[in-house]
């Protein structure tokens, strides 16, 4: 990513700086962590996130889930894109739209096992 330089206030020179450092400088935990998200990237939306991530998005920010669901539907119509969510059912991989996932699993309370499917992209790594 040259010439960009990535820095972290919590990791410097190969050592992890204690939490007290953050508190001392009044660096607060981002709100998405407090809501249960595994990372604070992309405002809670990421096409590489797992189903557990989308479950949290649906539960904590349903309006944002719906907004991205509509964008996905529009892209499917205009650009012929395929669904990016995938769920393993009986050992077989199924690709789902956000709408299908919401209607078939989230609204029916059938997404319990998805809590552990967080996923992540590592965009800045």
pLDDT band at 54; cut points 50, 70, 90: very high
pTM for the model stands at 0.75
pLDDT given at position 58: 95
pLDDT given at position 117: 75
- The tokens 């892209």 sit on which residue? 75
Domains of the chain, by residue range, sit at 38-116
Checking if the pLDDT of 59 tops 90, the result is yes
pLDDT given at position 89: 85
pLDDT given at position 88: 86
Counting residues of the chain whose pLDDT is more than 90, the rounded percentage is: 37
Checking if the pLDDT of 19 tops 90, the result is no
Where b means 16+ CB within 10 Å and e means fewer, 72-109 reads beeeeeeeeeeeebebeeeeeeeebbbeebbeebbeee
């Amino acid at each position: 990513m040259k010439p960009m330089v990535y820095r972290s206030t919590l990791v410097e020179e190969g050592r992890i700086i204690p939490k007290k450092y953050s508190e001392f400088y009044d660096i607060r935990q981002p709100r998405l962590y407090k809501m249960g998200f595994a990372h604070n990237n992309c405002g809670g939306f990421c096409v590489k996130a797992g189903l557990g991530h989308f479950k949290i998005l649906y539960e904590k920010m349903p309006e944002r889930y719906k907004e991205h669901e509509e964008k996905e539907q529009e892209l499917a119509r205009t650009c012929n894109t395929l669904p990016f969510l995938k769920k393993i059912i009986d050992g077989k991989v199924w690709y789902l739209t956000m709408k299908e996932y919401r209607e078939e699993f989230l609204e029916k309370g059938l997404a319990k096992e998805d809590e552990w499917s967080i996923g992540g992209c590592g965009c800045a790594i």
